[in-house]
Amino acid sequence: MSDVTDFPSNSKEKLVSDMKVVVSDAEEILRATTGVAGDKIGELRERIAERLRDAKVRIADAEDMLVNRTKAAARATDDYVNDNPWRAVGIAAGVGLLLGIIIGRR
């Protein structure tokens, strides 16, 4: 099974968002079937509730990891710009020039 760290950042955010929707929908199904009786239904509800608790923990962990990685990337960028201000200005100017050329061709 692939780890959340194998995905690009925007895919990770989408995955976490999608998982929250699935968990919310599953919780709603559990609430809707509260009055339904039967041994198999009761066992199924317990298994689903347990898996939902596990999924919530994993989602929270994935969110924390995303936040930490984003903060680390921002710190690294800030450190680089502070250590190399003229190089950062040159890179920004180069990127701006390339974007200008690309946009100008249209």
Report residue 85 CA to chain centroid gap: 31
Mean pLDDT, to the nearest integer, of 75-85? 90
For residue 67, which of 59, 79, 77 has the smallest C-alpha distance? Answer: 59
Residues 35-47: b if buried by 16+ CB within 10 A, e if exposed: eeeeeeeeeebee
Q: Give the count of domains, the chain.
A: 1
Confidence of residue 1 (pLDDT cuts 50, 70, 90): very low
Count CB atoms within 10 A of the CB of residue 62: 19
Is residue 59 predicted with pLDDT exceeding 60? yes
pLDDT 10s digits, 93-103 = 999 999 999 99
63: containing domain: 4-104
Question: For position 40, what pLDDT does the model report?
Answer: 74
Q: What is the largest CA-CA distance in the chain?
A: 71
Q: What is the DSSP string of 34-52?
A: TT---HHHHHHHHHHHHHH
Cα–Cα distance measured from residue 99 to residue 82, given in angstroms and rounded to the nearest whole number = 24
pTM: 0.53
